[in-house]
Amino acid sequence: MGDARDAVRDRVRAACLALPETHERLSHGAPSFFVGPGRGKGFLMVVRGQRGEDRVALWCAAPRGAQEAYVTRSPEQYFVPPYFGHRGWLGVYLDRELPWDEVLGAIEDAWLAIAPRRLVEALPAPPGG
């Protein structure tokens, strides 16, 4: 089972580090991702085994209102993470067969919620947009 968790963590890492000016470091004992110069601002953590659970999840920044919408719509896949939930962060279970594009969407939304405006404005427009 550890191999599957490592593979998911590696996919999350690759997706995060592909975003501009993103870097990784441990924070609160978890692989965490930051955006911006210097130490940057945190936008996502890969958390394993919190509250006695043997699970892997993302704790990530989210746009205003997203936490409530996602948790209400799909509580088996999304949750309010402890410690960060009061700031609007969203928890995403990674062991629930969530389509990868939804995981990528949560990662990108987290980055966009925290990234400096100059980085967001420098992103290329999506194809057809």
For residue 127, being part of any structural domain is answered with: no
The CATH number covering residue 89 comes to 3.90.1150.30
For residue 31, being part of any structural domain is answered with: yes
Token output for 36: 């911006």
**Would you say the C-alpha torsion 81, 85, 88, 89 has a positive or negative sign?**
negative
For residue 68, being part of any structural domain is answered with: yes
For residue 42, being part of any structural domain is answered with: yes
For residue 129, being part of any structural domain is answered with: no
Look at the pTM and tell me if it is higher than 0.85: yes
Q: Are the CB atoms for 31 and 24 separated by under 8 Å?
A: yes
Q: Which pLDDT tens digit goes with each residue over 47-97?
A: 987 655 668 899 999 999 999 999 999 999 999 999 999 999 999 999 888
- Say if residue 125's pLDDT is above 80: no
Separation of alpha carbons 33 and 35, rounded Å: 7
Separation of alpha carbons 96 and 78, rounded Å: 10
pLDDT (mean) for 109-117: 96
Tell me the β-bridge partners of 27: 30
Domain of 102 in residue numbering reads as 2-122
- Per the structure, the count of domains in the chain is 1
For residue 29, being part of any structural domain is answered with: yes
For residue 38, being part of any structural domain is answered with: yes
For residue 54, being part of any structural domain is answered with: yes
